[in-house]
Amino acid sequence: MIDPWAAVDPVWRPCFELAWESFQVGSLAVGAVLVDGAGSIVSAGRNRRNEPPEIRGQLGGSSIAHAEINALAMLPISDYTDHVLYSTLEPCLLCTAALRLSHIGTVRFAAPDPLWYGMDRIPEINHNLARRWTRREGPLAGPLRVWAEVLPLTSMVERALRTVLDAYARTSPGMVELAQKLTPRIGELRQLHLDQALDAVWGDLTS
């Protein structure tokens, strides 16, 4: 396997490691890392939807225990227009609002989420929100993008969430097929380190 991290910003690695931690414990596989204008990591969070609250200042065991929310929750009120939030999955409506209210300048996402298409059009219909709107950049290209999108989707297959799967099937049928193919291997994959798991499925991600 070619080194998947060589061609991407180094911040992506801890972001994906957080997503993998979520996957291993049965939460939605999404990770987020916030960096300042100098590129130093300021905070980080991961999805903790299916876990009890354990970290002071972060949410757990809640439908809103999203990775981006947990990365932003402890930020003091200030101006963060020079900061960038990296997230493995395109921010949903909740996290998009949190980015705007936290005054984060830019969000970069590894994979698109068809459930939340149209978020980038909100500033067109609300000029007040447009005033401090967080720029959206993404997705990545190549196998890491596929990995970032299919990993949380396997949880949807596992839980048979038809509404989500139907939405994906309309825009990304190949991604649903890949998630269905990987789902029987979830137990095996959860026992591996991130790089081992990537190596195990690399052929699927590149095909």
| 67-77 per-position pLDDT tens digit | 999 999 989 99
Tell me the backbone φ, ψ of residue 157, rounded to 5 degrees. Answer: -65, -45
Name the one residue in this structure whose structure tokens are 């987020």. 32
- Assign 137 to helix, strand or coil: strand
All structural domains of the chain with their residue ranges: 12-206
Which CATH topology does 12-206 take? Answer: Cytidine Deaminase; domain 2 (3.40.140)
Query: Beta-carbon neighbour count of residue 174 at 10 Å?
Result: 12
Cβ neighbours for 114, distance < 8 A, ≥ 6 positions apart: 167, 168, 170, 171, 172
Pick from 52, 44, 40, 49: nearest CA to 68: 44
Range in 49-53, 69-73, 105-109, 158-162 with the lowest mean pLDDT: 158-162
Q: Please give the distance of CA 3 from its chain centroid, rounded to a whole number.
A: 21
Residue 149 has pLDDT above 90, yes or no: yes
Residue 104 has pLDDT above 80, yes or no: yes
- Cα-atom radius of gyration of the chain, to the nearest Å? 16
Residue 1 has pLDDT above 80, yes or no: no
Beta-sheet strand order (sheet of 80-89) = 41-46, 31-35, 80-89, 104-111, 135-137
How confident is the model over 153-179, as pLDDT tens digits? 999 999 888 888 998 999 999 999 999
Counting residues of the chain whose pLDDT is more than 90, the rounded percentage is 88
Enclosing H/E stretch for 68: helix 67-72
Phi-psi region of 98 (alpha: psi -120 to 50; beta: other; left: phi over 0): alpha
Contact between 90 and 110 under an 8 Å Cβ cutoff? The reply is no
Please say whether the dihedral angle defined by the alpha carbons of residues 158, 172, 15 and 33, taken in this order, is positive or negative: negative
Residue 112 has pLDDT above 90, yes or no: yes
Residue 130 has pLDDT above 90, yes or no: yes
Pick from 44, 40, 35: nearest CA to 15: 44
Report residue 54's pLDDT band, with 50, 70 and 90 as the boundaries. confident
Residue 88's pLDDT is what? 98
Q: What is the mean pLDDT of the chain?
A: 95
Residue 161's pLDDT is what? 86
* 3-state helix vs strand vs coil in the chain, percent to 5: 50, 15, 35
